[in-house]
Structure 1
């Protein structure tokens, strides 16, 4: 798999993305830089923030009416987030290069490397489908007779007898979340910035995580924390915090991946 990724890059004249080490406190610096990007282009950033808020409302609706799909829909939020954030990456890229602030170019930024982004979408889609199926199987194993209503389910979560269910459900969810996170840390920015192929982008992203486990734990915790705050504020926080995370992800990519001597200018 690694050899095929290297071969594809050699054909395009692109070296395999090399991860580099960052400090444990680097994620805080990424957020500060992301906030600077947000201030430089607030209206387009807020547009994407409202899109994230809409996704949050959908998650809440599903949880209220079919909570057994809650983990699956949560995974969908985490998996679709990087794709929705592509516009935010483009805003940060333009700000970095001193280019103008505009929403229109960010809406079609995926066309720059559509084929490889499509491959990446398929990979994450498979992860999403397996995760959703695993969620339903776990519920079926522990609730063999009848699914409790929402209030009954929430009460049962606090019962000691259900600790096994919680442990297994949370453990499986963490495994899939880690896989999705590892693939997504820097892959889409790589594909947009360098026109890198999907395989080497995902491998480079995984390599960045393996080189910086402590910083990645901090980064994942900050992302989860921002998301939780967004939901606890009746989705209003998502309007600000999700664009902030998206912009910060661009700077995470810049720090985590060794830069090219001459980075190819993306095709418009």
Structure 2
């Protein structure tokens, strides 16, 4: 038998982490789809906001290619926070409640200080990545035209700057992996309990170390499905993001006691 809580070095209780089978992320996707079917209008409303917001950002940044590439990669960093309303819908459904879209927004006022602090941390990481990318691209893209398509073709896809491209993708992947490890259950935990940011992020890190295989599969599914949504001019995100958001709530419920 496991104790209800583990005690970390600073003396505050941390929840017990469950071990899950490697195939469990597929179950989360199934449960996410069931939540979408149970709450179609508010769930798809969030998906539509993701898609339209993303399209507007892309249109605004077409003549600022490095910002466009940062915006796409930064999407993966901020998505756990943006999906908080979807977590609230899943949480309420588990309690036997059915919320409207406007009702689900109440989650941002519950433990809002911790959510805001987590958002600040993620924002600082996105800003750091933007500055690193700006400097890196400036070193190789001095004469590149302003259009994003030409920029991506000449810099990222031509093969002429293969070492730079691989280094940039590797750095971005490492940052995304770090944020994933910090946030995989952090926001759902903040919403579900009166939890401070440090406890939520430390719990996320422990979740990743206890379930490295299943969460590697979960990260792979998150990236691939989200990229598929981007490939459809973001309109695939209308359905994909609600499924992933709801599934992330079930991931938290399975992983944390």
- Distance in 1, matches of 2:213 and 2:79, equals 23
Specify the alignment match of 1:109 in structure 2.
107
Deviations 1:142-168 (A, max 9, x none): 23x433343443332333331111111
Q: Distance in 2 between matches of 1:128 and 1:3?
A: 30
The 1-side partners of 2:175 and 2:93 are apart by 33
Tell me how many residue pairs correspond in the alignment.
248
Contact 2:185 2:200 in 1 (8 A): yes
Asked if 1:195 corresponds to 2:219, the answer is no
| 1:146 and 2:143 are equivalent in the alignment | yes
Cα distance, 1:3 vs structure 2: 4.3
Structure 2 distance, partners of 1:178, 1:246, is 18
Residue in 2 that maps onto 1:210: 209
Separation in 1 of the partners of 2:153 and 2:27? Answer: 40
Q: Report what 1:262 is aligned to.
A: none
Q: Which whole-Å CA distance do the structure 1 matches of 2:95 and 2:146 have between them? A: 53
8 Å Cα contact 2:64-2:146 kept in structure 1? no
Q: Which residue of 2 aligns with 1:158?
A: 157
Q: Equivalent residue for 1:240?
A: 239
Partner of 1:23: 21
Q: Which residue of 1 aligns with 2:3?
A: none
Write the distance in 2 (CA, Å) between the matches of 1:243 and 1:158: 31
Structure 2 residue aligned with 1:131: 129
Which structure 2 residue ranges, 5 or more long, are not aligned? 1-7
TM-score w.r.t. structure 2 length?
0.90
Q: 1:73/1:102 Cα in 2 relative to 1: closer, same or farther (>3 Å)?
A: same
2:4 corresponds to = none
- CA positional deviation for 1:124: 0.8
Aligned partners of 1:206, 1:58: CA distance in 2, in Å?
34
In the aligned structure 1, how far is the partner of 2:212 from the partner of 2:187?
20
User: Structure 1 CA distance, aligned partners of 2:56 and 2:178?
Assistant: 24
- For residues 49-198 of structure 1, the aligned pairs below 5 Å read 49-62=47-60, 64-143=62-141, 145-150=142-147, 151-156=149-154, 157-198=156-197
> What displacement does 1:48 show?
0.4
The CA RMSD measured in Å over matched residues stands at 1.8
For 2:115 and 2:54, locate their aligned partners in 1 and report how far apart those are by CA, in whole Å: 24
- 1:59 to partner: Cα distance: 4.0
Instruction: Name the CA shift for 1:133/1:82 in 2 (closer, same or farther; >3 Å).
Output: same
Report the Cα distance in structure 2 between the residues aligned to 1:221 and 1:147, rounded to whole angstroms. Answer: 32
Hey, what does 2:43 align to over in structure 1?
Answer: 45
Deviations 1:183-214 (A, max 9, x none): 11000110111111110100101111122222
Shift of 1:79: 3.0
